[in-house]
Chain A
Amino acid sequence: MSKDVRVGTKMMSVGSRVAGTQWSVLALGVLAVTALPRAALAGPLEDAVEGLAGPSDDKIEDSVRALATLGDPRALPALDALCDDRLRVGADGHTYVWNSKGRQLLRPIDGTVVTPEPRPLKEVEVTNDIRRAAMPVLAQLQLASPVASVRLGAAEELSKSGSGEASTLLHHALDREHDSSVRDALGLAVARVDLAGSNSAARVAALELIGKSGNDGFLSEITRLASRNADGSFVEPDAAVRGAAERARNAVVSHQRLVSFVGNLLHGLSLASVLLFVALGLAVTFGLLGVINMAHGEMLMLGAYATYTVQTMMHGGRLYLIVAIPVAFLATALVGIVLERGVIRHLYGRPLETLLATWGISLGIIQTVRLVFGAQNVSVANPDWLAGGLEVTQGLVLPWTRIGVVGFVIVVAAGVWAILQRSRFGLQVRAVTQNRAMAAAIGIPTRRVDAWVFGLGSGIAGLGGVALSQLGNVGPELGQSYIIDSFMVVVLGGVGRLAGAVAAALGLGVVNKLIEPATGAVLGKIAVLGFIILFIQRRPQGLFALKGRVEA
């Protein structure tokens, strides 16, 4: 067993600087520990597990292969750790598994906790090449796991790469399996193996299964089977298999066509939710107060930075995003109210001056944020309950973050509607919007209403910032990229109408996503802008116009 600790150092030593400093040097009591695992080292399993830590890439790959032939489930924790960057080499030269949740160091085979830890620990740096070799081996071992989700992941991995050697293993696993989704995935894995085999009946059955699943991972293989060679002869001599391949190909292609259409619709819905979020606050300030607020984008940005600040203060706790929602709303609403009281109220009725003043304010806010937080983007991590996505059907994944934004925007839009239509404050707002002088005459404090409305609009923008922080970057320039989109939605929808903003966002989002696959993202965007210009020419008041006499 090699005592060499230079792990993961390939052609040059790229020792991880960060990991090196992380582990302070406390290599005491190491000698006492080393005596124990020494005695345990005996069989080929132990050798192979130790070998997973190097010292060279070739050694690691050899050890993975050795574990594949052994097929011993006791190697599972070590392989899992290898693929997950949790394998460590202790100062004693032995391999350990770092349990990042429990912050403990475990022995790779029996899983006992090692105390004291043989520091300094070295990270085993693995490359994609090693991961690609290790993941099928890991998946084969995981097929015996008692947890259904682990088995499912393993079956999916094997259906991608399955080799002939795994055939009997897969058949056994399929016979044992009760969970239906795991059975489906295993069935595909078996089908891949069967298809490459020579049994005609098994191949036809495999092709039928593939056709039923609509899985496009097999598309190139079944297309090949159904096609002709250059000299006109069939690639596949067996007519039954050829016919089945033809049918399977048609089934998969039509399934994929459906999936991509539904996918485009759903992507459009998700884009629409983002557009609505950035426009909703503006629909309130621009729509109800008539203020051309160029600093609206910066309210989005401040909301996103509020999220970042909450995340930092809670050290990335799981629920930071929930806490960030009220914080971002209140912080941006406060900034909005100060802005209204300080600047905008002196400029009512002078739209050009308002435009210039708010634009200046937006530059000021950007530069202030840049000075406080730095010019770099800051990192807002998705909480683990928003990671990953929902697999709608084979080949179509909707990320939880996007689903969350759609849900959130529905709640917020409903809330805004309720405030404006169902509350006393909303009644006052509508009164002021429709006839300021009359509203003042019947005793509505119009100036205070103005400030509150501006605060509300800014606060909603802040909520939009929370949502955006989950989808893209958080940086000082965040708002700039959304300001055009938000004006686009509000103008198209009709100034002053919430329903208009909702309809416009939905229309723009879906149209954009239906055009994009055909034209590409750049031309798609241009096409949408052209469409809006034409539409505004025909209908300057937007989709939903206020009827009757309206104050400009």
Chain B
Amino acid sequence: MQKLLSRSLLLVGALAGMSACQKPEEAKPAAGPAAPAAAPAAPADDKGPIKVGILHSLSGTMAISETSLKDVALMTIEEINEKGGVLGRKLEPVVVDPASNWPLFAEKARDLIQNQKVAVTFGCWTSVSRKSVLPVYEELNGLLFYPVQYEGEESSWNVFYTGAAPNQQAIPAVEYLMSKKGGNAKRWVLLGTDYVYPRTTNKILRYFLHSKGVADDDIMEKYTPFGHSDYQTIVADVKKFATGKRTAVVSTINGDSNVPFYKELGNQGIKATDIPVVAFSVGEEELRGVDTKPLVGQLAAWNYFMSIDNPENKAFIDKWMAYVKKNNLPGGDKRVTNDPMEATYIGIHMWAQAVEQAHSTNVDAVRQAVGYQHFKAPSGFDITMDAENHHLHKPVFIGEVKADGQFHVVWKTEGPIKAQAWSPYIPDSAKKKADWLFPWACGNCTAPKFGPAGVVAAAQ
């Protein structure tokens, strides 16, 4: 019964994902290396400040995560303005609060583009909020920078994804746990909150585990509702499942449920050395509200950790702490930096560089210029935006939680790796390609849209 329901939910999720991505192909021009179109922006605006939209929930359930992204976005804009702005014009942030209400995200996005006339928007956290604004950005040809790790299976002409795709977070984490160093895990518990991101990620992971020879008997997949706080039964089940074979837990539990989950692990005496738990939604910011003692040794996979030691990161943290102090933000000197904050920081800088290069804030011109932008990120790597699939090339780090709530990096990739917008492990997705360059010009195709001679091929 449960299996049936989860299958059908997956199907619905997949259909929703596809329909969201099908739209742009019809109306979009060939996005080849051709010169950008002339900017239709009103010339009268050319001297005034450039408006930049910030679309993060400042109230409601997601305020806990998104407020810091709003703060770091304002800090980055201030930093750019102090250096003289972009094209000699100041950036003017327009902050709106969609209040963790998914339809309101779409309304606020429309308001930002149509009424506020923002040149670009930085925003969204949950996948459901992104799916809700996507049609708006595609209809009005807006530009969105999305800073959070997500489930992939999407590529939009109007969105640049500065967070990780599954192959830049989930897959390397599972590979690490399979290795000798990570504990030789043979059995897998896929544990998540019940919505699109965990379901899709776990679907990819299940296919991936199959490809590594893990049988279905050795995979346990469980979901809990948002805000679930009673993990007694689930942790007892995990414990039982873990007898015999070395087991690892892959947690896509999101938001508030993490604290009761980890507390329950500690209470039932499960240590990271027995059953390691790798989480994709737990970072420095989430650990700030947690008693970290029982968590020591548990793992997280990200593209950035605050504990990474390099000059760029030191400068980034110093800037952030100074900004927190100056604006007297709640939390004071206990504030931390985390991966989505770094992704926001990278995104804003890349957009600003692209505007300088395009000499315009016109969306079509800027979009052409964002691809191939690179930026020396706080993670210590020179990060490049992929012009093909609109995702960043990112390094992957795996860290173990330390008693002070920071992470000790135990594994990392040698360099940035390219995102796979469509997972090669899901048979249906493996055929698809996200490539916004000529002749593909498509986020979701199995064949190029344009023939070599510029003749429009029969689309799909």
Contact = CB atoms under 8 A, between A and B. Distances in A.
Contacts of A380: 291
Given A17-B307, A127-B400, A129-B181, A220 B244 contact: yes
- Per DSSP, chain B at the interface is loop
A183 interface: no
Interface string B293-332: 1101101000001111100000001000000000001110
Nearest to B5: A523
A466 B260 CA distance: 15
A520 B289 CA distance: 28
How large, as a class, is the contact surface on chain B? Answer: 35 or more
A376 B408 contact: no
A525 B2 CA distance: 13
Interface in A191-232: 216-217, 219-221
A127 B259 contact: no
Nearest to B314: A17
Given A10-B410, A14-B408, 17 more contacts: A11-B411, A12-B380, A125-B402, A129-B410, A217-B244, A267-B233, A271-B230, A371-B330, A375-B330, A376-B64, A376-B285, A377-B64, A377-B259, A402-B232, A473-B256, A480-B61, A521-B228
A401 B267 contact: yes
A111 interface: no
Contacts of B222: 520-521
A128 B263 CA distance: 19
A375 B59 CA distance: 8
8 contacts: A18-B404, A18-B406, A375-B64, A378-B289, A388-B267, A389-B268, A399-B264, A513-B233
Interface stretch (A256-264, A425-433, A445-453): A256-264
B256 A477 contact: yes
B451 interface: no
A476 B330 CA distance: 13
B273 A131 contact: yes
A377 B259 CA distance: 10
B232 A270 contact: yes
B276 interface: yes
B236 A481 contact: no
Contacts of A149: none
A250 interface: no
B103 interface: no
Given A14-B309, A519-B2, A522-B224, A375 B67 contact: yes
B327 to A, nearest CB: 13
A522 B194 contact: yes
A475 interface: yes
Interface string B223-245: 11101111011101101100111
Nearest to B2: A520
A513 B235 CA distance: 13
Interface string B243-262: 11100000000001001100
Contacts of A8: 408
Contacts of A10: 409-410
A135 B273 contact: yes
A399 B268 contact: yes
Nearest to A125: B408
A220 B291 contact: no
A462 B60 CA distance: 22
A474 interface: yes
A13 B240 contact: no
A389 B267 contact: yes
Interface in A371-425: 371-382, 387-389, 395-397, 399-402
Contacts of B239: 395
- Per DSSP, chain A at the interface is helix
A71 interface: no
B251 to A, nearest CB: 14
A14 B259 CA distance: 26
B240 A256 contact: yes
A127 B181 contact: yes
Interface-central residue, B229, B274, B411, by most chain A CB under 10 Å: B229
Given A16-B406, A376-B64, A475-B64, A381 B264 contact: no
A85 interface: yes
Nearest to B223: A522
A85 B224 contact: no
A509 to B, nearest CB: 9
Interface string A456-489: 0000000000000001111111001100000000
Contacts of B256: 377, 472-473, 475, 477, 481
Interface in B187-244: 194, 222-225, 227-230, 232-234, 236-237, 239-240, 243-244
A382 B259 CA distance: 12
Contacts of B15: none
A399 B267 contact: yes
B274 to A, nearest CB: 8
A345 interface: no
Interface in A11-39: 11-19
Contacts of B410: 10, 127-129
Contacts of A387: 266-267, 294
Interface in B109-130: none
B290 interface: yes
B403 interface: yes
B59 A474 contact: no
B227 A376 contact: no
B61 A477 contact: yes
B35 interface: no
